[in-house]
Amino acid sequence: MVFSYISHKGLIKTTNQDSIGHKECNNNRIFVVCDGVGGLPKGDLASKTAVKSILKTFKNNNSHTIQSRLQNCMHSAQESVKKVDSDKIGTTVAACIIEANNVHASWCGDSRIYHLRKNRVMWISKDHNVLHDILNKGKINKKILKHSQSLNRFFGLNTKNLSEYHSFNTLKRDKILICSDGLTNFISEKKIIDFITNNSPQNASNLLMDQLLSSQIGAPDNFSWYIIEI
């Protein structure tokens, strides 16, 4: 396994409200990307708290299955964020445990997880926002459309742990992308897939960062990711 990572505050914002972390334990690795919720204070504290809790729980938890281990990590992170300041802060979370050729993914919010193979998206997490609720329910009105990108799930604000779980098998040279929306909101999915599937993780990271920091985009948001090659 080879991977690269980056977490950058961008060119406009004064602080980085994204946090990332990874850890290896018993031949399994966990990778986490969190993004403090915009419009709420202390986003950096929320995201750092979630990452710290997930890594600690991953190290100390001895659940019989990887799924339950990951779900315990997510539950612990939710409770940790609520304990810090349950009324004011929030963060998205995207996490993967990689066990040989199996990937166990969980997420809450709009930080994303991609499974890529030979210029194809094999699977992608679904954003927890108003737009996806509209698409799922088939009900649209103008008032809702004005707030279509608003999150309806994240860790914090006394919300329930509504993270989702998915697992999939990988082949050699498959790629996994775990990222905050500072990447996916400003570079097209087609270009992201092209850069990642046709380059090493480090070269892909360099190319994506150069694009975001270019004068054409100007990196208006924090951006963070892991690019992992199996």
- Per-residue pLDDT tens for 154-180? 998 766 657 999 999 999 999 999 999
Q: Which pLDDT belongs to residue 140?
A: 47
Which parts of the chain have pLDDT scores under 70? 86-87, 130-149, 158-161
**Residue 209 gets which letter from DSSP?**
H
d(Cα 32, Cα 50) in Å, to the nearest integer? 9
d(Cα 110, Cα 126) in Å, to the nearest integer? 8
31 contacts 58 by C-beta, under 8 angstroms: no
Q: Which pLDDT belongs to residue 98?
A: 98
Q: Which pLDDT belongs to residue 159?
A: 64
Q: Which pLDDT belongs to residue 87?
A: 65
Query: Is 112 strand, coil or helix?
Result: strand
d(Cα 176, Cα 161) in Å, to the nearest integer? 24
Q: Is the dihedral of CA 109, 111, 115, 116 positive or negative?
A: positive
**Cα torsion at 214, 1, 47, 72 (round to 10°)?**
160
Task: Give pTM, 2 decimals.
Answer: 0.91
